[in-house]
Amino acid sequence: MSENEYRPEIGDVGFSAGIDDVTTRAIRYYTTGRGESPTAAAHQFQMISNGFVCEALVGKGVVIRSWRERLRDFMDRNEHFLVIRSPEPLSFETQFEIDYAADRIKGSRYGYMEILLQAMDGRLRKWGFLKERQPFFSKLGNIFPRTMICSRAGNYCLVKAGILPKKAMAYAPDDTFDTLRGRGWMVVTMDEGGEAYWNWNAQTERKTEDEND
């Protein structure tokens, strides 16, 4: 489905590749551990009701804005993006929890300290001391409950709705990407020409995870 035909639904989860700048290169470096496939997703955003998006942005914190505005930014920056959807319809209660969670964190400051904690975990993964999706230092982000990075904001909604385990609050965007991909979530839209970048249909080994907190 093209970006112009896509109709957002509550619970859809979006990712983008970022642009080729220092920040994006650092994210890709620190979120790719020893023996892992290269990081694809550098940013994460959450679809809520009425075609709006909840996301945490550097310098702005957690904002809620329309999908059209978010899409326009992607087009202006020539940035790869995709949006995925659960293979099973979400219940009314689950949708409500996502919306309610997004409203609760709206206006939260950006989590610069959480970026540092993610980088520290990334270093451990580079050395082979930490497995993928097994956060260590990143869990300390719970000390700063009113700050959010993009993946924490999106996963706060998904955790409160019971879609992801509590430890996902400390995931990087690419960790969420891999988790939902492994669960069979389906692509509902992506940028024109994004198939080669995201390689979504490639044959990959489904990874299992321990969802015990």
Which CATH class for the 13-192 domain? alpha beta
pLDDT at 41: 87
For residue 127, CA distances in Å to 32, 56, 167, 168, 190 come to 11, 29, 22, 22, 34
Averaged confidence pLDDT in the chain: 83
97, pLDDT greater than 90? yes
pLDDT at 18: 79
Determine which of 80-89, 98-107, 120-129, 168-177 has the lowest per-residue pLDDT on average: 120-129
- Alpha-carbon dihedral angle through residues 113, 156, 106, 32, given to the nearest 10 degrees: 40
77, pLDDT greater than 80? yes
> At residue 76, what are phi and psi to the nearest 5 degrees?
-65, -35
Question: By the 8 A CB rule, do 62 and 46 touch?
Answer: no
As beta bridge partners, residue 147 has 109
pLDDT in tens, 99-134: 999 999 999 998 887 777 777 676 676 666 766 666
Q: How far is CA 130 from the centre of its chain?
A: 20
pLDDT at 143: 67
State the average pLDDT over residues 46-63. 95
pLDDT at 68: 95
